[in-house]
Amino acid sequence: MRYNHVIKRPSLTISPPLVDSQPPETRLTRRRLRACHECDWVSALPPLGSGEKANCPRCAHTLVKRHRFPAQRSMALAVASLIALIIAVSFPFVSFSVSGVSNRIELSQTATTLIAFHQPMVAIAVIMTIAVLPALYLVGVIWLQYGLLRGRPQPFSRDIARSLSHLVPWMMADVFIIGALVSLIKVAGLAQISLGISFWAFCAFALLLLKTSQSLDADWMWFSLEGEPLAPEGTRTGTTAAAQNVTGCPTCGLINRLPANGKARCSRCHEKLHKRLPHSLQRTWALLFAATIMYIPANVYPIMTTTSLGSSSPSTIIGGVVQLLQMGSWPVAAVIFVASVIVPVGKLFALSWLCLTVRRSGELKAQSRTRLYRLTEFIGRWSMVDVFVVAILVALIRAGSLMSITPGPAALAFGAVVVLTMLAAMTFDPRLLWDTPPLRAPRPGRAATFTIATKESVDG
């Protein structure tokens, strides 16, 4: 007789780490208050489930967006992004061949080649926005989430967490991909193009980097790092923070009491706090004026010079668009025209109009103007497409007198326009759009007429 012995192994109960087990709302019995960064409205965060978000009831700005297993999710995406970036910088990016002459470049050469043409500032901007800053961001995310998953935050976690939100606007890997596609379409009719492993790895890196930044739950992360101190006593919802002499931290969201001198730091993340950004309109006007000045040489001077069979032809931004139209590349011409002309000019006009009308803004108008500000802040970085196109073409097309491309002085001027308009959007405080305009004192003549008319009506 045979006996089948079945050995039952004890089941392992795998519980998620403390940082991922319960959202902050379920660990506290008190309400968690937030002041909106765009309209200054104080509201209480509701309990949120995975995939849910809390919007400001006044301006619809997203206050918190909740993810399932936020630490594990963002760390996995960050590791995958970093691996893709390492592959992208280690293999050939793209190559071309024409009339027996060929050239192959790596990703880093899009910046180093510009240095050889005396464009160090443009080279620094290119390598910082597509590789260095994204790499620092990913390493910071991995450092933070690794400490939180272990239950013991790593050293300098607070400083690193505070810097992450400041890095996001300057990471432009997705914009670089659009620039690479535009460059390849422009060259495809002149030479044979071959895409290397680095190109596809960088496409994956750009997508993963975007997913990593979107998956980072800053509210949950700060709660896990530093807890949640109580809001100042007496803070009320349903009104503005400025009316209560409190303000919300722009980095971690915690509401803090402002001292009499108005200068303070957040008690949780140590970010500088202001009731309103100091000299917001003056700084925005100054940056807009500087961007307008730089936009003139950006369009007057050539952005690149193409040499073909010994003859050179400089090309401005508008000239490049016209050349693409003549070649029949209507979609590419439209992309360059929108990114290099419509977006910078539209951003200059939009921010100028917001600065002019900020004191004459009612609540209904403030909603539409806030949406305009969000759009302006979002599209500003996409103007870098033209700068990336120049960087790629200059590195790739190097065949001497047969065919070569050199950068023009407009590349630096246009890059300065992009940076200045982005800074102008950052220095503009959208909460000013929601502040009640001060009541104007009536003119003496009108006041006297009103008094006399009232007296006559009473006596009659």
Q: What is the CATH number of the domain that holds 347?
A: 1.20.140
Q: Structure tokens of 370?
A: 């806030």
Same domain assignment for residues 298 and 250? no
pLDDT, the chain, mean: 84
Least confident of 96-100, 128-132, 149-153: 96-100
Query: How much is the average pLDDT of 384-408?
Result: 83
Q: Which residues pair with 316 in a beta bridge?
A: none
pLDDT tens profile 195-232: 899 999 999 999 999 999 999 988 889 988 888 888 88
Please check the confidence at residue 383 and state whether its pLDDT lies above 50: yes
Q: Answer yes or no: is 20 within a domain.
A: no
Angle at 110 between CA 307 and CA 164, to 5 degrees: 150
Among residues 272, 270, 217, 232, the alpha carbon closest in space to that of 35 is found at 232
Please check the confidence at residue 443 and state whether its pLDDT lies above 70: no
Residues 6 or more apart whose Cβ sits within 8 Å of residue 436: none
Q: Model confidence at 10, in pLDDT bands (50, 70, 90)?
A: very low
Q: Answer yes or no: is 41 within a domain.
A: yes
Query: How much is the average pLDDT of 301-325?
Result: 81
Residues 6 or more apart whose Cβ sits within 8 Å of residue 359: 437
Q: Answer yes or no: is 16 within a domain.
A: no
pLDDT value of position 442: 44
Same domain assignment for residues 82 and 224? yes
CA dist 269 and 216 (Å) reads 17
Same domain assignment for residues 287 and 403? yes
Among residues 438, 277, 415, 428, the alpha carbon closest in space to that of 353 is found at 428
Same domain assignment for residues 298 and 353? yes
Please check the confidence at residue 144 and state whether its pLDDT lies above 60: yes
pLDDT value of position 310: 65
CA dist 353 and 375 (Å) reads 14
Same domain assignment for residues 362 and 253? no
CA dist 164 and 254 (Å) reads 17
Same domain assignment for residues 294 and 405? yes
Q: Answer yes or no: is 372 within a domain.
A: yes
Please check the confidence at residue 455 and state whether its pLDDT lies above 50: no
Portion of the chain with pLDDT greater than 90, in percent: 44
Q: Model confidence at 118, in pLDDT bands (50, 70, 90)?
A: confident
Q: Answer yes or no: is 45 within a domain.
A: yes
Domain count, the chain: 3
Query: How much is the average pLDDT of 335-357?
Result: 90
Q: Answer yes or no: is 3 within a domain.
A: no
Please check the confidence at residue 457 and state whether its pLDDT lies above 50: no
Please check the confidence at residue 423 and state whether its pLDDT lies above 60: yes
CA dist 435 and 427 (Å) reads 17
Same domain assignment for residues 299 and 415? yes
Q: Answer yes or no: is 252 within a domain.
A: yes
Same domain assignment for residues 223 and 245? no
Domain hosting 401: range is 274-434
Same domain assignment for residues 132 and 163? yes
Query: How much is the average pLDDT of 337-362?
Result: 87
CA dist 251 and 222 (Å) reads 9
Q: Answer yes or no: is 460 within a domain.
A: no
Longest dimension (CA), the chain: 123
Residue of higher predicted confidence among 261 and 316: 316
Q: Structure tokens of 130?
A: 């597509």
Cβ neighbours, 10 Å, residue 182: 24
Please check the confidence at residue 175 and state whether its pLDDT lies above 90: yes
Same domain assignment for residues 77 and 148? yes
Same domain assignment for residues 334 and 428? yes
Residues 6 or more apart whose Cβ sits within 8 Å of residue 406: 117, 304, 305, 307, 394
Query: How much is the average pLDDT of 121-126?
Result: 94
Q: Model confidence at 426, in pLDDT bands (50, 70, 90)?
A: very high
Residue of higher predicted confidence among 328 and 415: 415
pLDDT value of position 331: 79
Least confident of 15-29, 57-71, 308-322: 15-29
Residue of higher predicted confidence among 310 and 416: 416
Same domain assignment for residues 310 and 242? no
Residue of higher predicted confidence among 165 and 455: 165
Please check the confidence at residue 150 and state whether its pLDDT lies above 90: no
pLDDT value of position 291: 96
Q: Model confidence at 12, in pLDDT bands (50, 70, 90)?
A: very low
Please check the confidence at residue 122 and state whether its pLDDT lies above 90: yes
